[in-house]
């Protein structure tokens, strides 16, 4: 819900926000921290095995909060384990700050991981957990203590340093896991779906907490998630993975506003997909409305038009139907859901297809909106993306 609202408002001043993002990245210098070139991973025999990753190229910048987003089974966890050195890629190279690390074992890589299960050592206290990586690196004495204390303060767990993980709440365990992974001062911090075990409220809190920690340490974060809302809220940039391939890389705003293909259009945010006929090379017809669009395609082809629910306008006023007929799709309200700031309508178009429209509650205040009401649904041509029709829509 939040994301949709944010996305919607940002689309108004698209240009401005891009500048802000670029500037904030620019402050830390745009040097490439983590570079992946042609990384492949195949499980089983090379010819017939399961291809978990196919030719992954990525450049992740220094100090960036970068997300790897994709549905389960898309290869994001394999990629993370390869970055951590817990698995080896079948082909391709990975370098950190221009140093190739393909043959560096996990216990020598300047990369630390926050595991999905947190993987806190249950037989050590919080303090010993955080010190573990430092002790491995032969840091001792006051250096060790200072660093652990610094980390405890960073994640606000100074009071709980002598507790065992079993005595902590999920959110606290999460903080320990982050502190433990950050303590050895890694160049890159990997986070594996680490918020998924928390309940919704705590997750929101931890999101801003993660963001704060990342900003204050300046460490490059690579965050793996299947939750697009989370990825959008947290990331400077993100890569969307599907079936082992990187499908699109960009800022959340870019990806939200210009999904590279239908998969991403459907995966990121809510999207209406409307089947329609192409009348000419740039003209489609849907539910009695003719639209001239920016895309070009074969006349007579069957295409799918994608538009965000918040980009639709709805005219409830029957009297103006004449005027609207040139610029609106005819439909009937089927269902109304009021969720506070947003009024969501499901609308059946005259050709039988269904749409979801989201209106700001204050924009429709005082209007009488009832199921079975005939309406006209309007859409801006610039908000439309068009994809070739695939089976099943």
Partner 1 sequence: MSVSTNKWRRITGAQWLTLVFFLFLYGPLIALIGLSFNENRSATIWTGFSFDWYGRLLANDDLLAAARNSLIVALSAASLATLISLLAAVVIARNRFPGRKAVDGLFSMPLLVPDIVFAIGALLFVLTIGLSPGLLALVMAHTAFCIPFANLPIRARLQGFDWALLDASADLYASRGRTMIRVLMPLMMPGILAGFLLAFIVSLDDFIVSFFVSGPGSITVPVYVFGLIRLGVTPEVNAIASAIVMISVVMTVLFFFVNSRSSRKGDPR
Partner 2 sequence: MGRSTGKIYLSLAPSVAAIMILFCGPLLAIVAASFTRRAPNGGLDWSEFSVEGYVRLFAEPDLFGVLVPNYTFLSAFTRSLSLSLITTAICLLIAVPVAIYMSQSSHRIRNLLLLLITIPFWANLLARNYAWILILRSDGILDGIIRSVVPEAPQTGLLYTQYAVLIGLIYSFLPFMVLPIYASAERFDWRLADAALDLGASRRRVFVTVILPLLLPGIIAGSILVFIPSMGSYITPRLLGGGRDFLLGNLIAQQFGSARNWAFGASIAIALMASILLALALVNRLSQNKSEREVKVA
Radius of gyration of the chain (CA): 25
Question: Which spans of this chain sit near partner 1 (rule: CB under 8 A)?
Answer: 84-86, 105-108, 111-113, 115-123, 132-133, 136-137, 165-166, 173, 180-181, 184
Least separation, in Å, of the C-beta of 126 and partner 2? 27
Nearest approach in angstroms of CB 81 to partner 2 is 8
If the CB atoms of residues 170 and 266 are measured against partner 1, the closer one turns out to be 170
CB nearer to partner 2: give 106 or 170.
106
Closest approach of Cβ 82 to partner 2, in Å? 11
DSSP 51-63: EEEEEEEEEEETT
Pairing of strands 65-69, 237-242: parallel
Looking at the Cβ atoms of 117 and 332, the one nearer to partner 1 is 117
Work out how close the CB of 152 gets to partner 1 at its nearest, in angstroms, rounded to a whole number. Answer: 16
Does residue 197 interact with partner 2 by CB under 8 A?
no
Helix, strand, or coil here: 91?
A: strand
Rounded to the nearest whole angstrom, what is the least distance from the CB of residue 209 to partner 1 in the complex? 20
H-helix segments, 59-125: 76-84
Query: Residue written as tokens 């209007």?
Result: 367
Residues 129, 176 contacting (CB under 8 angstroms): yes
CB 180 within 8 A of CB 152: no
Q: How many of the chain's residues bind partner 2 (CB under 8 A)? A: 3
Q: Does 54 bind partner 2 (CB under 8 A)?
A: no
What is the C-alpha to C-alpha distance for residues 326 and 390, in angstroms, rounded to an integer? 28
Determine contact, residues 66/249, Cβ cutoff 8 Å.
no
| Comparison of 31 and 196: residue with beta carbon closer to partner 1 | 196
Nearer to partner 2, 82 or 246 (CB): 82
Nearer to partner 1, 123 or 367 (CB): 123
Residue 88 binding target from partner 1, partner 2, none, CB below 5 to 8 Å by type: partner 2
Give the angle 247-250-253 at the CA atoms, nearest 5°: 120
Using rule CB under 8 A, residue 104 touches partner 2: no
Q: Measured from the CB of residue 87, what is the shortest distance to partner 2 in angstroms? A: 6
> Residue 33: CB partners within 8 Å, gap ≥ 6?
60, 61, 62, 63, 64, 96, 97, 187, 188, 220
Q: Which residues, 79 to 98, sit near partner 2 by CB under 8 A?
A: 86-88
Answer for the pair 4, 309: CB distance below 8 angstroms, yes or no. yes
Please give the residue ranges that form the binding site for partner 2 (CB under 8 A).
Answer: 86-88
């Amino acid at each position: 819900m939040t994301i949709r609202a944010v996305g919607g408002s940002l689309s108004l001043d698209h240009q401005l926000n891009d500048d802000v993002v670029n500037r904030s990245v620019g402050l830390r210098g745009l040097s490439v921290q983590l570079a992946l070139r042609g990384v492949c991973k195949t499980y089983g025999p090379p010819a017939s095995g399961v291809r978990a990753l196919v030719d992954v190229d990525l450049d992740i910048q220094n100090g960036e909060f970068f997300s790897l987003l994709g549905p389960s089974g898309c290869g994001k966890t394999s990629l993370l384990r390869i970055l951590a050195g817990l698995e080896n890629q079948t082909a391709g190279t990975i370098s950190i700050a221009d140093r190739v690390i393909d043959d560096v074992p996990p216990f020598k890589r300047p990369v630390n991981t926050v595991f999905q299960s947190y993987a806190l050592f249950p037989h050590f206290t919080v303090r010993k957990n955080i010190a573990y990586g430092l002790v491995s690196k032969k840091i001792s004495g006051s250096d060790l203590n200072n660093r652990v204390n610094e980390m405890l303060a960073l994640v606000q767990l100074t009071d709980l340093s002598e507790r065992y993980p079993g005595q902590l709440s999920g959110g606290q365990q999460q903080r320990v896991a982050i502190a433990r992974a950050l303590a050895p001062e890694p160049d890159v911090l990997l986070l594996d779906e680490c918020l998924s075990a928390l309940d919704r409220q705590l997750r929101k809190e931890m999101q801003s907490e993660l963001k704060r920690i990342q900003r204050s340490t300046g460490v490059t974060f690579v965050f793996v998630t299947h939750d697009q809302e989370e990825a959008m809220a947290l990331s400077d940039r993100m890569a969307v993975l599907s079936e082992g391939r990187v499908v699109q890389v960009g800022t959340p705003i870019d990806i939200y506003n210009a999904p590279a293909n239908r998969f991403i259009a459907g995966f990121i945010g809510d999207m209406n997909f409307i089947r329609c006929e192409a009348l000419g090379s740039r003209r489609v017809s849907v539910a009695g409305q003719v639209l001239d669009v920016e895309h070009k395609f074969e006349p007579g082809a069957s295409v799918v038009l994608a538009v965000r629910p918040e980009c639709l306008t709805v005219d409830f006023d029957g009297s103006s139907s004449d005027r609207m007929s040139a610029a609106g799709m005819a439909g009937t309200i089927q269902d109304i859901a009021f969720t506070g700031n947003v009024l969501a309508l499901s609308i059946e178009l005259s050709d039988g297809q269904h749409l979801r429209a989201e209106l700001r509650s204050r924009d429709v205040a005082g209007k009488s909106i009832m199921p079975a009401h005939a309406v006209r649904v309007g859409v801006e041509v610039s908000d439309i993306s068009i994809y070739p029709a695939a089976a099943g829509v």
